[in-house]
Amino acid sequence: MKVIICGAGQVGYGIAERLSQEGNDVSVIDTSASLVSHITETLDVSGYVGHGAHPDVLARAGADQAEMLIAVTLYDEINMTACQVAHSLFNVPTKIARIRSQNYLRPEYSDLFSRDNLPIDVTISPEIEVGKMVLRRISFPGATDIVRFADDHIAMLAIECMEDCPVVDTPLNQLSELFPDLMATVCAIWRNGRLHVVRSQDHLQVGDLAYVICQRDHARRTLGLFGHEEQEAARIVIAGGGNIGYYVAKSIEQMQPKTRLKIIENDRERALSVSDQLQDGIVLHGSALDQNILQQADIQDADLMVTLTNNDQTNILSAAMAKRLGCKSGMALINSPSFHDLATSIGIDAHINPRAVTISRVLQHVRKGRIRAVYAVQKGKAEVIEAEALETSPLVGKPFRELELPPGLRVGAILRDKAVIRPDGETKIKAKDRVVMFAAADAVRHVEQLFRVSIQYF
């Protein structure tokens, strides 16, 4: 596939890295010569210095042959114009744009991004996507990651196996026998820096990060099975009142009105604006790195500190400082992958990677076949994929024990007529089933083939 990416920053680089690894013909455009030089020296991509919305630059990048344009520059207006030019002059079939300003995304302007107006096929709002991820983490504090699939009927949980984990050293096939009514399947483990897609005879070890696909209503019971009985936070302090911080705070007020909420914002005008828009949340003007401000926020009594500023170092240090002052748990927004291990090593309980969230949304539209959702884990070493089975799929009609699935693929759950099914050897997939599976990077192409639209379908 020929793909043009406008923007060579962290998100653009991450998307280019994934697509080039999979053998796509990728061209990257950016006004920064240093960013273009870096991306072409480290990845198998073509680079062009210039404005991503200029027709001559798009032409040099091969827009007349492109199947997809992905605009992820820092500026919404450039992203939108690039999609318009790609459509009007080069007839690029699929246009994806990152839109950060919430003004463009208000419901009353829903017709803006349509073929007759601004022809953008997919808009991605990092602030909303990251905000939703933060809210899910707050709702399930025992999980280090949680993503929902199949119209919210199925969830993927990443769960750390601690010293007191009750299911350590138990063969996975025995778990289904011990808990026959629990709709949950352990699909993979991250152990000593390596990802393993599990088999039924494997077992968990202390220190493992288990990836479990389960019925959403069974998520809390699944966490309890792994020894995680953490309660939802009743007192939350948020550092950063920007788009993400405000979205999270407003959502908490609406969904968890009993939660006591305080926000720390360094910009005085923004602090006043957020204070006016919140109903009960208390907004403090100051730096989240100021110990006095943290104490004014009663950080020593807080259950959770969530740091959502636009600075990684501030997020990491303020979360660590909050825990040192007595806060029970810390969660930090971290853009740079190089800081992830550091955050864990200094005791930050969870981190959110906005780049991974955006890349996952893009991959959903890159994948071939009836792919409904994609979520990348462990820096792209695997993906959790939701796909719809068609009548022509080789999976349909055969019991699982007769299917020759690759070793890097494990089906976690099936949604059929709004009912969740935990697959076993006798399970048969039917047409229109929604299948949620865990696939190592080298098995993703196989998934696309299994759920591709065959010519017989038409």
Of 163, 165, 144, 142, nearest to 229 by C-alpha is 142
- pLDDT by residue (tens digit) across 351-364? 888 888 888 888 88
Percentage of the chain exceeding pLDDT 90: 65
Please say if the pLDDT value at position 321 is more than 90. Answer: yes
Which of the four pLDDT bands, split at 50, 70 and 90, describes residue 10? confident
Strand order in the sheet with 350-352: 282-285, 260-265, 235-239, 304-307, 330-333, 350-352
* Mean pLDDT confidence for 359-386: 86
Please say if the pLDDT value at position 368 is more than 90. Answer: no
CATH 3.30.70.1450 residue ranges for the chain: 126-233+328-457
Please provide the CATH number assigned to the domain covering 2-124.
3.40.50.720
Sort 66 into a burial class: Cβ within 10 Å, 0-12 / 13-18 / 19+.
buried
CATH 3.40.50.720 residue ranges for the chain: 2-124, 235-327
For residue 453, what pLDDT is reported? Answer: 55
- pLDDT by residue (tens digit) across 103-122? 888 888 878 888 778 899 99
Please say if the pLDDT value at position 456 is more than 60. Answer: no
Place of tokens 């352990």: 186
Q: What is the mean pLDDT of the chain?
A: 91
Report pTM. 0.84
Helices in 278-381 by DSSP H: which ranges? 291-296, 312-324, 340-345, 354-366
- pLDDT by residue (tens digit) across 140-193? 988 988 999 999 999 999 999 988 889 998 888 888 888 889 999 999 999 998
CATH 3.40.50.720 given to domain 235-327: yes
- pLDDT by residue (tens digit) across 280-292? 899 999 999 999 9
Question: How far does Cα 136 stand from its chain's mean position?
Answer: 11
* Mean pLDDT confidence for 59-83: 95
For residue 455, what pLDDT is reported? Answer: 39
- pLDDT by residue (tens digit) across 410-455? 999 999 999 999 998 899 999 999 999 999 999 998 888 888 754 3
What homologous superfamily is domain 126-233+328-457 in, according to CATH? Regulator of K+ conductance, C-terminal domain (3.30.70.1450)
Strand order in the sheet with 409-416: 371-377, 382-388, 434-440, 409-416, 419-421
For residue 458, what pLDDT is reported? Answer: 31
Please say if the pLDDT value at position 327 is more than 50. Answer: yes
Please say if the pLDDT value at position 369 is more than 80. Answer: no
| Alpha-carbon Rg for the chain in angstroms | 23
Out of 89-98, 264-273, 359-368, 440-449, least confident range:
359-368
Percentage of the chain exceeding pLDDT 70: 98
* Mean pLDDT confidence for 5-12: 93
* Mean pLDDT confidence for 71-99: 95
